[in-house]
Amino acid sequence: MRKVLLGVGGAVALAVVGVGLVAGAGDGMLGMDHSATTVAGSAGATAEGMASEDMGGHDMSPVSTTGVESAEPGAEGGRPLPGTRRRGEKVFKLAAAPVRWTIGDGATVGALAYNGQIPGPAIRARVGDRLRIEVTNDLDEPTSVHWHGLAVPNAMDGAGGVTQPNIASGETFTYRFRVTQPGTFFYHSHTAADRQVALGLSGVLIVEGDPDPSVAADIPMMLQEWRITADGNVPAMDYDGSLPNWFTLNGKAYPDTRVITVKRGQRVRIRFIGAGQFAHPMHIHGGPFRIVATDGNPVPRAAQLTKDTVLVAPGERYDVIWTAQRAGTWLVHCHILHHTTNDGREVKGGGGLTTAIRVV
């Protein structure tokens, strides 16, 4: 009886570009209901060296929450990461550490996070930027960071144990590379990735090209899955007995996901990011969208598909442009409908991978 698979998650929010995007958090039907329960907790041991169950070698131990700080109440993940300029480089700092993270709908879990956020902070750069990203490992286990989709020098690729030694607990590794392609990317752990990514270690990375003035809102949507048990947060994996029971969009489960507000006629760019280990057919109500980029590569106009559902597999990114045609509240959700529940329950008309675009 094996279980396997990873889960992951992270979702990001934000990036509100341009005019007219009000991005009202949780008003109306998406009101927050922070009633309660702490789901995780537990387990005093540290993650490192914890004897895991015999799951074919996967370390299925829960994230320890002993002595772990909580993110500030109401905190969202994927907040823009401030950078500084130093000698021609854009300098960013990431620190991986455990955190107590409120997924929403009453669930708070122990998770592994960059800078205390799920998903990690959003790194935004421009084509041509030289990046210097200093990664500090404040976990009890080794880690590394891979820049998913970016063409970087091999030594900067972050494949722990392959292109670099793992970053030991307490140490810092500096990644330096130049970004040359505009598009939607993400970063994630590449050490014990089955476990660390599933427990939260990923974040959005966007390389901006020329701005598109016709887009009123630019919203990354990071899709992640979680397995929350009585023992705490354990890695969700695609195998029997390890399947996820919670799903997050930018680190939150509906009804605690962020609603996007735009005006009629405005266009929204949504950047779906499959950060987890499960495929999600993402569907938008109220009219079709055009797929303008896949995996960080622009799609030539003549080849752009117009659809209302796009299957976002693990590791994939789809940038879609949706035009607000009619006033109202239009749902955005995964069409594997188990993924729109919270531990099997539907709350306020949805759950998990559900949010909405409110057109005013």
Radius of gyration of the chain (CA): 19
Q: How far is the CB of 344 from Cu ion (least distance, A)?
A: 14
d(CA 114, CA 95): 5
Name the residues that contact Cu ion, by CB under 5 A: 280, 334, 336, 339
Q: How far is the CB of 334 from Cu ion (least distance, A)?
A: 3
Q: Is 104 left (phi over 0), alpha (psi -120 to 50) or beta?
A: left
For residue 208, the tally of other CB atoms under 10 A from its CB is 16
For residue 11, the tally of other CB atoms under 10 A from its CB is 32
Quick one: which H or E segment has residue 274? strand 267-274
d(CA 95, CA 31): 32
Q: How far is the CB of 83 from Cu ion (least distance, A)?
A: 33
For residue 49, the tally of other CB atoms under 10 A from its CB is 11
Considering the complex, state which of residue 305 and residue 336 has its C-beta at the smaller distance from Cu ion. Answer: 336
Considering the complex, state which of residue 147 and residue 254 has its C-beta at the smaller distance from Cu ion. Answer: 254
Q: How far is the CB of 245 from Cu ion (least distance, A)?
A: 13
Torsion of CA 213, 132, 172, 164, to 10 degrees: 100
Contact 262, 130 (CB under 8 A): no
What residues does 122 pair with on adjacent strands? 80
Considering the complex, state which of residue 133 and residue 223 has its C-beta at the smaller distance from Cu ion. Answer: 223
Considering the complex, state which of residue 224 and residue 261 has its C-beta at the smaller distance from Cu ion. Answer: 224
Q: How far is the CB of 279 from Cu ion (least distance, A)?
A: 7
How many residues in total does the chain contain?
Answer: 360
Q: How far is the CB of 247 from Cu ion (least distance, A)?
A: 6
Largest separation between any pair of C-alpha atoms in the chain: 57
Considering the complex, state which of residue 96 and residue 221 has its C-beta at the smaller distance from Cu ion. Answer: 221
Considering the complex, state which of residue 139 and residue 334 has its C-beta at the smaller distance from Cu ion. Answer: 334
